[in-house]
Structure 1
């Protein structure tokens, strides 16, 4: 029996010890290479010209030859105006990468020895960069689709006489939301060419108010190519997909996998990791940022076949490509995202 990838030495190409031992020069060079590819040819964040700008060595900054703008390696990025050393941000990304089921702000605060407020915004900045930089393109081939509800069961009242029937719509939790997931499976040709390419290839997540026909049809029409093979359960929300797709169903009241091999286990495996993060790590998710949490697990699922240093470089690159003008700039000064990202 072949060894699982995550147990092999190829999966362990980054350790926190390597990041901690980076000198100031090494950390600076690493960020430069991730953002521009070198320390010589840099791109001005104001005018966008890629050239060999004047380097102010005493301040680790450049001055643009065209617009005279002075900038650093983090200017215009999600790490702009940082007050902590660069190594701390690299350590935060390394901890984020190695925590395969997510990491809480409390744990990040203890590991980095920073305030909870700092760790909270830092972890959310990383999630926001994954959300902003993700690529949305239509899925094709075999797609597994399903939905799960979050915040659906508030703690009941102590006295039985004070409890209400939560099955009634009037007594439903107003914070109840659902996450719809679509996962494309690797094709047989891709699996034959590389035996490690099995399971899900690409994952798309959408926070929704409820799992209904209108939402499912709208999202499927946008993000699934026609005539694709869709695996779903017996929920009536997926009935109308039969008109445009090769729809296959599995009745979970009878079985998890039909005798014909029909299953939506790729969607179920996503929910398994998501709920492990929810109940085992963060414990509480605001609906305002539910899309960031859902997309984080989608990213972790899609990169599960990659070594951790490759994931580290990818996340750091996404952070450096994300604008500083976002909902997490001045969060603790009252600058909060006001609109919930939900599909209705």
Structure 2
């Protein structure tokens, strides 16, 4: 990783190298005025960062105007280094590691990573699940040996994926904000809220498992996704508060959806997000009550656990036929 960073540094060794690199990503077909879309501009080079004045409407803009880098005291070169490191590491990176690698303070490194994750979260919110959608209730901060005290720290989440023919699956993991006990059946209002916010009405099939319990040696993809994300968080960040957990879960899914895709340049994709004039807008799914009620109910055999005794003395209940429903 360090060797790759040194090679990348040679590509952006000077400020002008950074400007040229960003210019090609921001305006791949040449300058476009953000106000009138005119294609010609005068370049004013008397400032540290080049200023472009539109020949038509005289509007002035820079490479960072309206982007995540705007008015940042951190140099563009440091930003490019940080984005390269984030997009190149398989396991992500924490602020201590980033500060050491690109030679900035811990506070600066934390701020940079936080802004990058916020942009990733915006990108994820702008992508609705469609095609064949599968979702499942899971437990965040799951305790291996349940006790009354430890279970109070757990949080409900919904892991979901969508697939379309000839396309790679798209994954989401969303913490449940409502008062949902993660060890109990998914509340219908929570289901409806998740569907309205993250699923497109233009879907082919929707399957939701309302229970967090998994059979031994289960091959359930959603359960494996949630478990893998939880291990990833503990392995790389060694404990995390709920306040920031959603941003990190969004980063984990982004890595599975984009960074691990060999057909894309993860650095270019991440930089394109950061250079967007406006953050990706979250579409508003237009679900009607009739459409929600018409979603197909799919019966599933599940081994459930009876939590009616409030965590204590629990035991597996008899296998029952549960319905995935709204």
- The aligned residue for residue 235 of structure 1 is 211
TM-score (norm 2): 0.69
- Mark the CA change 1:205 to 1:275 in structure 2 (over 3 Å): closer, same or farther: closer
Q: Distance in 2 between matches of 1:97 and 1:119?
A: 15
SS of corresponding position for 1:314: helix
TM-score (norm 1): 0.66
| RCO higher in structure (CA 8 A, sep ≥6) | 1
- The aligned residue for residue 109 of structure 1 is 99
Give the drift of 1:167. Answer: 6.8
SS of corresponding position for 2:136: strand
The equivalent position to 1:213 in structure 2, one of 168, 184, 187, is 187
| Contiguous gaps of at least 5 residues in structure 2 | 280-326
SS of corresponding position for 1:87: helix
- The aligned residue for residue 282 of structure 1 is 237
| Aligned 8 A contact 1:55 1:63 in 2 | yes
Give the drift of 1:138. Answer: 3.7
| Alpha-carbon RMSD | 3.4
Give the drift of 1:48. Answer: 5.2
Matches within 5 A, 1:76-95: 76-95=66-85
Q: Distance in 1 between matches of 2:225 and 2:277?
A: 26
| Aligned 8 A contact 2:33 2:59 in 1 | no
Q: 1:251-274, CA deviations, whole angstroms, 9 ceiling, x for partnerless residues?
A: 7335414xxxxxx22x23422442
| Aligned 8 A contact 2:157 2:173 in 1 | yes
- The aligned residue for residue 312 of structure 1 is 267
- The aligned residue for residue 41 of structure 1 is 31
Q: Distance in 1 between matches of 2:204 and 2:71?
A: 49
| Aligned 8 A contact 2:158 2:174 in 1 | yes
The equivalent position to 1:71 in structure 2, one of 61, 64, 73, is 61
- Say how many residue pairs are matched: 264
| Contiguous gaps of at least 5 residues in structure 1 | 1-11, 157-163, 191-196, 237-250, 258-263, 325-344
| Aligned 8 A contact 2:138 2:223 in 1 | no
The equivalent position to 2:171 in structure 1, one of 198, 203, 206, is 203
The equivalent position to 2:215 in structure 1, one of 248, 253, 256, is 253
